[in-house]
Structure 1
Amino acid sequence: MEEQQRNREVKISVRNLVEFLLRSGDLDSRFTGRDRMSEGAQLHRKLQKAYGSSYKAEVALKETRTVGGIAFTVIGRADGIITEEDKTTVDEIKSVTQPLDEVDEDFAPVHWAQARCYACMVAAQNGLTEITVRLTYVHADTEEVKTLDRVYTQEELETFFNDLLLSYHSWAEFSASWAELRDMSIKALSFPFAYYRRGQRELAAGVYKALRDEKRLFAQAPTGIGKTMSTVFPAVKAMGEGLTTKIFYLTAKTVTRQVAQEAFERLRENGLRFKTVTLTAKEKICFQDTPACTPETCPYAKGHYNRVNAALRELLEENDAITRETVEAYARKHTVCPFELSLDLSMWVDAVICDYNYAFDPRVYLKRFFAQENQIPDCVFLVDEAHNLVDRAREMFSAELKKSSFTQVKTALKKSAPRLKKRLNAVCKVFLELKEECGEERPSLVKNTQSEELCAALEHFLSECELWLKEHGKEHEQYDALLQLFFDSLGYLHTAELFDERYVFITDCAGHDVRARLFCVDPSMLLNNALNRARGAALFSATLTPLQYFKNILGGREEDYILKLSSPFDQRNMHLLLCGGISTKYRHRDESYGRIAEVIKAVIGGRAGNYMVFFPSYLYLQRVYDEFKALCPEVDTLIQQSGMTEPEREEFLLRFDAQNSETLVGFSVMGGVFSEGVDLKGDRLIGSIIVGVGLPQVSTEQDIIMNFFNQENGMGFEYAYMYPGMNKVLQAAGRVIRSEADRGVVVLIDERFAHNEYLRLFPGHWSGCLLVKSPTQIEKSVREFWNECVDTTNSETL
């Protein structure tokens, strides 16, 4: 009974309540101006201070009422309560970009609804029979103010508030009933396999402990442990115990989202009742050739809000596993936007499977979850393939602009828009000044301070551009170009607000063009802030080596947990050879091409089958490929091409057939699409040859990272080059042994692998590595390994 009572409580914010129930009309994402949330907050504070002592600002409100057997806890925050001798006024402040003479009593019914809810709560808590509701509209640019007042009796407000809760009751009843069913199924849920693999129980326990203790777990879990189920299962169990209300399974790639979907489906087959939705990028799921969310151009946008709640309810009642295909089917049936439908679904399901950026990217993260009033403080993050988050974070927290983008638009405007062209000229002038500062001999200039002049020029450009975009429709030939430039500039300025000692400002000069970059060198603090949006988190990968580095760079705190697990597979199934007599350093590469070709020939000479060779660059790949084809013209080969399409990638992988009677050698790039996330089990891949230690290409960015961390902790080379490089090596090596039955060969080609600083990065199951120096020795060793495998197989059969 106590459990049932807990599930019959529904907590919702005033804003979510009124916006969900009262939304109607078209979906229209055409340009209306900037998202001025931070500017609006500043205007709010300015107005609040101006009222004086009678004005109480940012008043937290909470009201619990039982309607139809459900205890609704409604929370909110009134912008202000004005207490005078003869009356009390609840003030709701809204910043707008429309001229204030267009703002009248009927401008936004949802604003009145929100304010009336606050007024009802204030009146009930203070025994007021009458209260004034005020909407204060402030213009974001001019700071002009317009107020609208209405007086309500407590009885009127009570009726309105209770009617809202009655309207929401069926949704709340659905949610509460589902939660009861879900939690009962979780309590009865057992691990979906007959036994835990080695390390799997330990990982599951580590994840549960982190979520329970509100910590973060950084786990290195080698291939084969079953990372997805080992993280999903304890997170689901934590939900059943009331430790979380939402699971976010965050990934970098589509293939890992599919694996997560399969894990939840496996648990459903084992009795779990659990709703999940997989979010797909707007550009991919949009039904139109070009995403344009306006009622004039898209039938799914016209009247979207009139139909979306019906689509949402039907979809939720009929489905637990909500994939992209499911969303698209119901969106077509109800003629609503599939992307917006999927976002609405995310509020109602138990788990959201999505890309990293929905939780971490400051420009696109899910504000409906993580923005103050709507924040869910007890959600949890499961971050798959977390080694990818380092580079993705630097990308998400960085920004850049090019002078040529402004010049092209300015030229295309010709003689029109003189005020806008003046602002474009001012931006271009700053770029030219940056180029002069860079000098003739220096292609790049790195500084610890950003260009305030550029930020100021961009602010002026945005103000003028905003006016131009509002005045001109999409039919203007420069509309799209200016709209893109507007958002690029706005994104740059938002990043500029984050600029601190963890950033550098880079000026790049190439020919006549100039590029200004805000480069996030150390994303750890910003990732820590993002991870604070969750109660707890598990960040896991097969290649978090070394763990302390990843814990530091990914926003770990001193109190957070780390876990390093051994491979669950028999160490004897992988034959690891270190070919230490060859240098792949850039200055020695010309001498290495033929020798590497001979090593490949020796490896494949041990047994016919499918092999992959991984290189640090396409140029290196091509040089060795030419040598190998001259040496072994009869061997079937494949080459990874730059910029391969999805069908081309699939065709490439399909060639790795376990039934191949002849040897196939695929030439690929380390860190590319075929070196991680590829699952070629059994005889589809029996050998991986890795050329070099995977160091990132020397660049301005990598050197900046190196210099930064040399000053921070004296480990600049490790943070910038060695650790990221070794991560690529481990990923490439991990393509070979994918299951308990797999057997294969991994060959490391580079003399540096034999040095202590690299040997200490080897995972535990690499301890049997053999040092070989000649092709003859390699072929003999490989042949002996395969012969032993045959003997072992026969013994097992007997």
Structure 2
Amino acid sequence: MRVAVRTLCEFAARRGDLDHRYTPAPSSEEGIAGHGKVQARRGPDYQREFALAGECAGLQLSGRADGYAPLANRIEEIKTHRGDLARISEPQRALHRAQLRAYGALHCHTTGKDSVELALVYFDVGKEKETVIKESASADSLWQELTELCEAYRQWAQQEESHRRQRNQALIALKFPYGNFRVGQRQLSETVYKNSLRGETLMVQAPTGLGKTLGTLFPALMAMPKAGQDRLFYLTTRNPGRRLALDSLQQLRDAQTNALPLRILELSAKDHACEQPDKACHGESCPLAQGFFDRLPAARQAAADFEGILTREALSRIAAEHTLCPYFLAQEMARWSDLVVGDVNRMFDQHALLHGLTRQNEWNISLLVDEAHNLVDRARGMYSVTLRQSRLLQVRRQAPAELKGPMNRVASQWRALIRDALPEEQTSDRDQTQFLDSIPKALLPSLNLLVSAITDYLTEQPPDLALQELMFECLAFTRLAEVFGDHSLCELRTGGRGKAALTIQNLIPADFLKPRFEAAGSTLLFSATLSPGVYHRDLLGLPDSTCWQAIESPFSARQLQVQFARHVSTRRQHRDSSLEPIAQIITQQYRQQPGNYLAYFSSFAYLKAAMDALQARAADIPVWQQHPDMGYEERNNFLDRFTADSRGVGFAVLGGAFGEGIDLPGKRLIGAFVATLGLPPFDAWHDILKQRLHDRFGAGYEYTYLYPGLQKVTQAAGRVIRTPEDRGVIWLIDDRYSQPQVRSLLPQWWFEDMTNKDANSNPAPNHLHKK
């Protein structure tokens, strides 16, 4: 039974309260850099990442101490932090010491030494200051302590080994919940199964209506035993995708003859799972944090024994029975679940829980990413941040006296930055934007001091949301500033005195995502729109060996009429003249076949003008429109207008809430008008993006404009045909749709009758061409 030393200690050596005070812990990048700085200060004989292994009480232990100094016979464990060391709680320090002493025990046991010197090194990444706590320990005492930890863990480990054997036996014999696969679904499943066994990275373009969720989960689960995989992560970019995955997994469980011993966990956002949002995450404030680790073993066992899916609701009930925080109980169960369903940020953002656990435990994981076409934009958001001058000034008005000084220093740096970069700002209220070649270095030290000051203040004071938000904004900015490069852009924008904003905008997420994908044993990214594959491979940082495959559509061209309005231009300079022809097209189609339609436009202004033109021509046609910033209820009301008995035209913005992820089958939607190519604006920002992508990949225009735009078009038009019984029409309104390059990016099944398809139209996965 294998176990990492850190996992062993986190299981058996944690005691007392949960303590997540407002302490800005270093990011993973900062932690790695901090370790490197400490290690670089040591002598030439110093051994970094000192590997240790051994057997104790029936467990095979392994781990890496951060360093070993042979001449001093000293093992070091480095822990990075930011700010006052006193903020690291006693339970957390005890855990650090237990881990270090476990390494010492393994070292003495392996080398036969009678004793060892142990050094716990706390490194402040802001001040680059070390605090070293040393102790000497005998081999006998260290081995006794390690044995006690292993004894505490062994029963759980035996249970987990038994669970894994039962799980693997059940997965080998897993039954599909339906008698037959849908058209194309079997091909998808076979492809996923083979990819898991080979441990490769694959992108699959599979059309909507195929049953992608079951078609990927079923084979990935079946492959786990043979592939030797420890965990399966099913990640989504939208909440509806997570619910669909959980529903599909319940279908799988219900279809089995015997109970399926598969531990499935739903990871929800903290905002949704927290039971005490008005309290801070530590024992002095929240009763669910007090004594958390003392009550955790019983709650963990109850969750492990739970026969259903560990949804947010199920975890909330278990946590309530043990007076625990359900959010952090879910974090704990992520260590012990076979299949985790969650948002993509759990694997890909700066503090990704699943990526950290994968590295710590050296898991062989299978990674499934649903709606993967959204991952480029989602990842750009994960590694972008905006620093707002107005937030600082607003918080400063009500700030306590001890924070006025640090805030004034930041405010002074803001004024200097604006004065040097945009001299006109002092006499003009108009918006001005400047793209900077580098991060303003003079601003960063004052931001770090402010973060430390706010942290110190919040440690001793009740929660203050405004201060907390300011602290996290400053901290996020400084972290990304430290890794700033050609993958990102720095933008300074002003709109009047006190309204400046400084943004680090990620352009190429590949540099950040590449290590995440490298940590996976096998990876599958799938969506209805993943063409062309090289675009996603390059921007996501996928391996050069990544393959791409298209799955046969279950739909026929006989179900869909694709009409082109080649006489209309929807370019910005031609939009006014396009309104009357668009209104004529919509009116003619509606008169010919009354029913429900969606009309997509590139902006709300264009949408409103086109709707007004339609009403002026045909006032009897019912219309309704998407508005900016629609809430949940308003979006539902918009969709509720589409019924089997209703008629009319809903106007929406391409790429918005109604451009993908909605199901209106049958007569609820019989057609769509797409009056745009979906191209982003031709402005200064996109010019820079185009140049960066050209410099890196040699495809600036395609990667900036053409591919993202046509992806939105395909998604929106895909709302029309949702089932094999649907019939509908799509109007593509723009003269550029006649261009061969544009036409080639549209789904080919729109134009091909299934009976005439070549037998080789869906070949095996192909390696993407290298540039």
Is TM (by shorter chain) over 0.5?
A: yes
Aligned match of 2:500: 514
Deviation, 1:239, is 0.9
Q: Provide Cα deviations, 1:697-716, integer angstroms capped at 9, x if missing partner.
A: 34443222223234445532
- SS at the partner of 2:281? coil
The change in CA–CA distance for 1:605 and 1:425 in structure 2 (over 3 A counts) is closer
Equivalence for 2:282: 294
Structure 2 residue corresponding to 1:259, chosen from 240, 244, 249:
244
> Aligned runs of 1:80-479 on 2, under 5 Å?
80-83=67-70, 88-94=73-79, 108-137=93-122, 141=127, 143=129, 145-154=131-140, 156-271=141-256, 272-290=260-278, 292-366=280-354, 368-370=356-358, 372=359, 374-413=360-399, 417=403, 419-436=405-422, 443-447=432-436, 449-451=437-439, 454-471=440-457, 479=464
Q: 1:65 to 1:528 in 2, by over 3 A?
A: same
Partner of 1:24: 15
Equivalent position of 1:536 in the other structure: 522
Deviations 1:188-210 (Å, cap 9, x if unpaired)?
A: 12433333333323322332333
| Alignment map for 1:384-783 (pairs within 5 Å) | 384-413=370-399, 417=403, 419-436=405-422, 443-447=432-436, 449-451=437-439, 454-471=440-457, 479-512=464-497, 513-658=499-644, 660=645, 662-767=646-751
Task: Find the aligned partners of 1:192 and 1:104 in 2 and give their Cα distance.
Answer: 49
> Amino acid of the residue matched to residue 215 of structure 2?
S
Letter in 2 for 1:752: R
In 1, Cα distance between equivalents of 2:378 and 2:86: 45
Aligned equivalent of 1:77: 64
Displacement of 1:468: 4.7
Match of 2:55 among 58, 64, 70: 64
- Structure 1 residue 682 displacement after superposition: 1.9
Q: Which moved more, 1:419-428 or 1:723-732?
A: 419-428
Report deviation, 1:185: 0.8
**SS of equivalent to 2:500:** strand
Measure how far apart 1:434 and its partner are: 4.7
* Secondary structure at the counterpart of residue 680 of structure 1: coil
Q: Could you list the per-position Cα deviations for residues 362-419 of structure 1 after superposition, in whole angstroms to 9, with x for gaps in the alignment? A: 244545414x5x1534212211111111111221122222333333344544865454
Structure 2 contact 319–329 (Cα < 8 Å) conserved: yes
Question: For residues 152 and 186 of structure 1, do their structure 2 counterparts lie closer, same or farther at Cα, with a shift above 3 Å needed?
Answer: same
1:653 deviates by 2.0
Q: 1:106: how far off?
A: 9.3
Distance 1:52 1:714 in 2: 45
Q: In 1, Cα distance between the equivalents of 2:33 and 2:594?
A: 70
Classify the secondary structure of the residue corresponding to 2:502: strand
Mark the CA change 1:425 to 1:346 in structure 2 (over 3 Å): closer, same or farther: same
Match of 2:60, as an amino acid? T
Are the structure 2 counterparts of residues 83 and 473 from structure 1 closer, same or farther at C-alpha, using a change threshold of 3 Å?
closer
Unpaired stretches in structure 1, ≥5 consecutive residues: 1-8, 770-798
Query: Deviation of residue 55 (structure 1)?
Result: 5.1
Contact kept? 1:206, 1:217, Cα under 8 Å: no
Cα distance change, pair 44–618 in 1 and its aligned pair in 2 (3 A)? closer
Output the CA distance in 2 between the equivalents of 1:161 and 1:350.
Answer: 28
- Kindly indicate whether the alpha-carbon contact (under 8 Å) linking 2:736 and 2:742 is maintained by their aligned counterparts in 1: yes
Structure 1 residues 100, 432: closer, same or farther in 2, change over 3 A? closer
- Letter in structure 2 aligned against 1:204: S
Moved more, 547-556 or 467-476: 467-476
Between 1:727-736 and 1:138-147, the stretch displaced more is 138-147
- Cα shift at 1:144: 5.2
User: By how many angstroms is 1:678 displaced?
Assistant: 0.7
User: What percentage of aligned pairs have identical amino acids?
Assistant: 32
Relative distance call for 1:98 and 1:644 in structure 2 (3 A) is closer
Give how far 1:254 is off: 0.8
Retained in 1: the 8 A contact 2:431–2:495? no
AA of the residue aligned to 2:473: D
Whole-Å separation in 1 of the counterparts to 2:643 and 2:378: 33
> In 2, distance between residues paired with 1:166 and 1:636?
72
Structure 2 gap ranges (5+): 754-771
Q: Deviations over 1:561-581 (max 9, x none)?
A: 011233221220112211222
Supply the AA of the counterpart residue of 2:138: Y
Deviation at 1:687, TM superposition (A): 1.5
Change (3 A) 1:330 1:471: same
Q: Which amino acid aligns with 2:449?
A: S
Alpha-carbon separation, structure 1, partners of 2:531 and 2:132: 59
Shift of 1:732: 0.9
Compute the TM-score of the two structures, normalised by the length of structure 2: 0.89
Residue matched to 1:787: none
- Bigger Cα Rg: 1
The 3-state SS of whatever aligns with 1:250 is: strand
Contact 1:407–1:424 (CA under 8 A) maintained in structure 2: no
Who is 1:785 aligned against? none
Provide the C-alpha distance between the structure 1 equivalents of 2:263 and 2:541, rounded to a whole number of angstroms.
30
In 2, distance between residues paired with 1:138 and 1:709?
A: 38
- Using a 3 Å threshold, how does the CA distance of structure 1 residues 382 and 468 change in structure 2: closer, same or farther? closer
Indicate conservation of the 8 Å contact 1:405/1:485, yes or no: yes
Letter in 2 for 1:443: Q
User: How far apart are 1:257 and its partner, in Å?
Assistant: 0.7
Partner Cα distance (2:479, 2:8) in 1: 30
Distance 1:119 1:562, change over 3 A: same
Q: 3-state DSSP class of the match of 1:460?
A: helix
In the alignment, the residues of structure 2 paired with residue 580 and residue 150 of structure 1 have an alpha-carbon distance, to the nearest angstrom, of 82
Give the C-alpha shift of residue 340 in structure 1: 0.8
Quote the Cα distance in structure 1 between the aligned partners of 2:87 and 2:255.
58
Moved more, 269-278 or 411-420: 411-420
In 2, the alpha carbon distance for the partners of 1:706 and 1:39 equals 30
Per-residue CA deviations over 1:236-293 (Å, capped at 9, x if unaligned) read: 1221214321111111111111111122222222324322111111112212344632
Distance 1:201 1:44 in 2: 48
Distance (whole Å) between structure 2 residues aligned to residue 389 and residue 354 of structure 1: 14
How far 1:496 moved relative to its partner?
2.0
Question: Given that residues 447 and 475 in structure 2 are in contact (C-alpha distance below 8 angstroms), is that contact kept between their aligned partners in structure 1?
Answer: no
Q: CA deviation at 1:15?
A: 1.5
Point out the more displaced range, 727-736 or 635-644: 635-644
CA shift in 2, pair 1:464/1:494, >3 Å = closer
How far apart in 1 are the matches of 2:174 and 2:130? 59
What is the Cα deviation at residue 332 of structure 1? 2.1
Whether the 8 Å CA contact 2:177–2:255 is kept in 1: the answer is yes
1:105/1:148 contact within 8 Å kept: no
Shift of 1:720: 1.5
